[in-house]
Structure 1
């Protein structure tokens, strides 16, 4: 037995296999973490770009006319929201998140005596609801902006919208399209590396044209209003 034990003790033919077996869990863990965090960085970038594109598109759309100011319509808002939905389709953006777009305006309406900054109307898309997905910076009624009356004037926002120190205000006589995107990150490896991560991005663009700010129009055939009491994907 002693010679046999000595041969076994000197035998190093399986050393590499044993070392590989011991290192494999660490390699898998580090590789999985690298994949997860790289993907999360990619999704952060994609969500940020969607917010920017949506604000940019919303600042440009409307029914243009050489004889009158551009009218913003419900169908225009539906189109830009549909574009954001398609852009985030690979992420399941509207299934796992919520988009809110606000028309922040500093305008003197027919019922005002001076320009007033307010959220004149908001539109939303996405299935998620509750804390972390509703607008963080102000809300307004579902009927706000649907006609040119004081009852539907919207919500006064004298200090603008956004985080403290980074608030956005509309230029006098004009408006800003302010977009919020909240999205629950869908990890590759469950909760091993990331747990309940909600990505939050905002973007804003000043309206590019001479817009009619009296209301958001909905001419016949009327389009579905994507008001923020609706939760659709």
Structure 2
């Protein structure tokens, strides 16, 4: 009996020893806290990227709507491909913090009412960026054919957008392929898509579409 008690004495002493308990507990919970922290950082960066994409879309549509405002020639201005090039380039530069040019695409479309049929159609469309995405509203249809997907207006944010008679609506789309902070550990294959639309603020000569080399940034 005495020998058995001698054998149990070290076990009892160990059970009463609290040295290093905090270190052991910390070691046990550290992986959980690290995982939660990394996941929180991932979600925060995803939300920041989504906000940036949304702001770029709004800014691009607004800038496009102002094209021609500085024309003081007295003649209704036309919109050139170089004007649109400036707007697209500005949008990519604005999205530089998320590397929008390499990981996404910006698309600008001119929604107009056909002068003959009165139906809505995309008169011209320009794209820029290394992404391969296409507009969610279809490609430009310079003839205003009845096969257009926006004949009765363009659906945006649950509302139907229509261009006024003789005017145009600048529709901006921004696509962005989100790259996770920790690779594919928490997210994989997320593509952000934001849109904005603003009516052209001044009179424009829209009958002939874009002037200049519109094929440079063709979609």
CA contact (8 A) 1:181 1:201 kept: yes
Describe the shift of the 1:165–1:45 C-alpha distance in structure 2 as closer, same or farther (beyond 3 A): closer
Q: Which has the larger radius of gyration?
A: 2
Structure 2 CA distance for aligned equivalents of residues 18 and 182 of structure 1: 47
SS, match of residue 211 in structure 1: coil
Listed as ranges, the gaps of 5+ residues in structure 2 are: 1-6
Does structure 1 residue 139 correspond to structure 2 residue 133? no
Q: Which structure has the highest helix share of the two?
A: 2
Moved over 6 A (4+): none
Aligned length: 208
Structure 1 CA distance for aligned equivalents of residues 109 and 62 of structure 2: 13
Does structure 1 residue 46 correspond to structure 2 residue 52? yes
Aligned to 2:41: 35
Aligned to 1:102: 109
Superposed, 1:109-148 pairs within 5 Å as 112=116, 114-129=117-132, 133-140=133-140, 144=142
Aligned to 2:216: 225
TM-score normalized by structure 2?
Answer: 0.87
1:41 CA displacement: 0.8
RMSD, matched Cα:
2.0
Superposed, 1:1-233 pairs within 5 Å as 1-62=7-68, 64-108=71-115, 112=116, 114-129=117-132, 133-140=133-140, 144=142, 153-154=143-144, 156=148, 157-163=150-156, 165-214=158-207, 215-218=209-212, 225-228=216-219
Describe the shift of the 1:124–1:206 C-alpha distance in structure 2 as closer, same or farther (beyond 3 A): same
1:223 CA displacement: 7.8
Structure 2 CA distance for aligned equivalents of residues 223 and 164 of structure 1: 29
TM-score normalized by structure 1?
Answer: 0.82
The one-character-per-residue Cα deviations of 1:93-129 (angstroms, maximum 9, x if unpaired) are 1211121110001252xxx3x5342111000012222
Aligned to 1:148: none
Structure 2 CA distance for aligned equivalents of residues 165 and 183 of structure 1: 21
